[in-house]
């Protein structure tokens, strides 16, 4: 099985790129969605999150995302501690999921694969990038957040210039048609390199 990491800063359009790969029949593991699921279903993870952030982290056994975000964004040490709880659970879940797939390669979509050093666990890395102002515009429209809140979240992620040398493929995600064409080319290249 070939493991491909798909990453990019907030608002770069990772999910859009992931959906284009999915349209080509590639199994895509969305780390954010699976992390949310695990934080709501794994009893040991829930226990550890409550220990770290207090019982207010859950409202009737469901993760209170707003409360958690308020606690960790702007407090890098606390964010790191939360990541140390969630990332291993997601990693284990990803490998279990990947073993069930039958395609030549699978993609794991995650925001901070370079930042947390886990990019070394993949056979290939794809970086999605877009201009900062465009990313801010997209996130503000999607999450109904302020520019300051978005910039705070961006500060926890590396600049693209630092990620580019570590990536096998870079997709400039501005024009959807061009992005889709890039995905098709990468897909063909990956299939060729695997066979």
Tell me the whole-structure pTM to 2 decimals. 0.89
What's the pLDDT at 191?
A: 97
What's the pLDDT at 127?
A: 98
CB within 8 A of 134, min separation 6: which ones? Answer: 11, 174
Any long-range contacts for 158-165 (C-beta under 8 Å, 24+ apart)?
158/9, 158/114, 158/115, 160/9, 160/127, 160/129, 162/114, 163/7, 163/114, 163/127, 163/129, 164/127, 164/129
Q: Which domains does the chain have, with CATH numbers?
A: 2-194 (3.40.50.300)
Question: Would you give the end-to-end CA distance of the chain in angstroms?
Answer: 11
155: pLDDT strictly greater than 90: no
CB 42 within 8 A of CB 89: yes
What's the pLDDT at 136?
A: 95
46 pLDDT tier (thresholds 50, 70, 90): very high
What's the pLDDT at 156?
A: 83
30 pLDDT tier (thresholds 50, 70, 90): very high
172 pLDDT tier (thresholds 50, 70, 90): very high
> pLDDT, tens digit, for every residue of 103-121?
999 999 998 899 889 999 9
How large is the average pLDDT for residues 131-156? 91
Measured between alpha carbons, how far is 5 from 17 in angstroms, rounded to an integer? 12
């Amino acid at each position: 099985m070939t493991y491909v990491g798909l990453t990019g800063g907030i608002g770069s359009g990772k999910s859009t790129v992931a959906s284009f790969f999915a349209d080509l029949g590639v199994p895509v593991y969305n780390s954010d969605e699976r992390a949310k699921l695990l934080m709501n279903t794994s009893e040991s993870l829930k226990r550890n999150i409550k220990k770290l952030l207090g019982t207010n982290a859950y409202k009737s056994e469901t993760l209170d995302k707003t409360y958690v975000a308020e606690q960790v964004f702007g407090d890098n040490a606390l964010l790191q501690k939360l990541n140390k709880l969630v990332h291993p659970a997601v990693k284990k879940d990803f490998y279990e999921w990947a073993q069930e797939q039958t395609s030549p390669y699978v993609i794991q979509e995650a925001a901070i694969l370079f930042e947390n050093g886990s990019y070394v666990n993949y056979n290939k890395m794809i970086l999605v990038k877009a201009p900062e102002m465009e990313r801010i515009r997209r996130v503000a429209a999607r999450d109904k957040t302020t520019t300051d809140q978005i910039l705070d979240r961006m500060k926890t992620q590396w600049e693209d210039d630092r990620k580019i040398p570590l990536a096998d493929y870079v997709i400039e995600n501005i024009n959807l048609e061009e992005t889709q064409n890039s995905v098709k080319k990468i897909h063909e290249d990956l299939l060729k390199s695997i066979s």
